[in-house]
Amino acid sequence: MAQAGAHSAAGQMTGYLYQCELALLELAERVWSDPTVEVRMELLDDIEFLDPDTHTPRELLQSKHREAAGPLSETGKDFWRSVASWIDALKALAEPSAAALPLLRLVSTQVAPEETFFLLLRNGPDRDVRGALARMERIASDADGPVTTAKDRGLFMALPPERRYELVNAMVIHDGAPVMSDLNPSLAKELGITPSDHAEAALDAIKGWWYRMSVELLERRDPQRMRASIGAQELACLRDEVLQRYMEKDLPITEALRNLTEAEIAGYGDQLVVSQMRWIDLPDDEIAMHLRSYHHARAQRSEWLRTFKITPERLEEYERELHYEWERTFRRHTRRLRAATPDTERQEVGQEVLDDTMDKVAVKPARHGSTTAAWIGHGTLHGLADQADTVHPDRALGWHPDYTDLCKQRGEQDQ
């Protein structure tokens, strides 16, 4: 079993990730109570909540993660470095008045012991600012206190007495916060993700979006990639979209439909799916459009199977239903053709078969009682067309009226 090295930064890395996910949890908690609030990170403090009108901090939050949750120390670095950080941040805010002082919160996974000033700075009926201030002043002025916090304690005592009171009055201690490995249940609850087959996927989707946004919040060099803040309303909108996608009866769509690159399109050049479209004289831009559906539908079906969102049996049944719609359309369009019908007309009929079949399958659900994105059906049919020379005869399909003969000729040329 691998052991952490003496120079391992795992704890520090976990602290950074915790700060990121704590910001998401805190913002999610405000979606209903304070929907206009905005969050930013690592500017004045670890996490800041802003007034949307003035863009000034309503709250500065220090995040402290300790996997082995021991007691929160009155003389420890976690607290006194937070105090020093708040003092510096308030200086940067041009020394706001007591009325404008933002809330100063310390969120720690450690627990405050009995008879410490931390208990007096929790929210609640036992809060006692003057009692906490008196004890903090005794500890901060103790010449025998830890050297590691001497500078930070000195900054606190250098403040005028009235300013020390204002600072402590703005502080709130939130101890015993969940550790990193226990955050997901709290996140799911605040985001409204109820237990279901798709709950984990829904939470992963929101967290994935949040990490991308966090990178933009932390960007400092490129203004084009930088975000000043993220609002609770934006998170609420994203949450609603994800819950609609994952938590309803619909199969989750995890593939982002995008145009294929030239290299991706070229990679399909020798496949039967492309030959089928060239036989009916489709232009290159339409072939690229259909290949996009084929490419993403194949990936999405694989993801559904991999994550047990659909059974192979149901997927085969879905393919049979789509094949039935193709067969009805194919027979209707080709029954008037004769042996002497010129190839240009046969190509036009093939294009009609393709277009009409795509319209038919667009509304066919992959799961009964739900809806499925149209491109899933489109791409699934192209998947069957790509196997028309190998798949079982009752599943083969094509667009050109003579696709079976053309497939045979193609196979003979390849031999």
Could you give the CA distance from residue 117 to residue 374 in angstroms, rounded to a whole number? 61
Give the pLDDT confidence score for residue 67 in this predicted structure: 79
- The pLDDT of residue 248: 65
Q: What is the pLDDT of residues 102-115, one digit of tens each?
A: 999 999 999 999 99
Mean pLDDT check: name the lowest of 29-33, 91-95, 104-108, 279-283.
91-95
**Alpha carbon 180 to chain centroid distance?**
17
What pLDDT does 62 receive?
Answer: 96
1 confidence band (pLDDT: 50, 70, 90): very low
Amino acid at 51: D
- What pLDDT digit, counting tens, does each position of 326-342 carry? 999 999 999 989 999 99
Rounded Cα gap, residues 136 and 132, in angstroms: 6
Residue 241 is predicted with a pLDDT of 80
Closest CA to 308 of 225, 395, 367: 367
Residue with tokens 């149209």: 374
Amino acid 69: pLDDT: 66
According to the model, what pLDDT value does residue 195 have? 85
Domain residues of the chain, as ranges? 11-244, 262-414
Question: Could you tell me the pLDDT band of residue 370, with boundaries at 50, 70 and 90?
Answer: confident
Question: Average pLDDT for residues 308-331, to the nearest whole number?
Answer: 92
Q: pLDDT for 239-263, tens place per residue? A: 988 887 776 678 888 898 899 999 9
CB 151 within 8 A of CB 145: no
Instruction: Please write the tens of the pLDDT for every residue from 29-61.
Output: 999 889 999 999 998 889 999 998 888 899 999
Give whole-number Cα distances, 62 to 89, 94, 206, 306, in Å: 12, 20, 23, 40
How, if at all, do strands 38-41 and 230-231 pair?
antiparallel
Whether residue 8 has pLDDT greater than 60: no
The predicted model gives 75-90 an average pLDDT of 95
Percent of residues, the chain, with pLDDT higher than 90: 71
The 10 Å CB-count burial string (b at 16+, else e) for 165-190 is ebbbbbbbbbbebbebeebbebbbeb
Q: Poorest-confidence range of 224-228, 296-300, 330-334?
A: 224-228
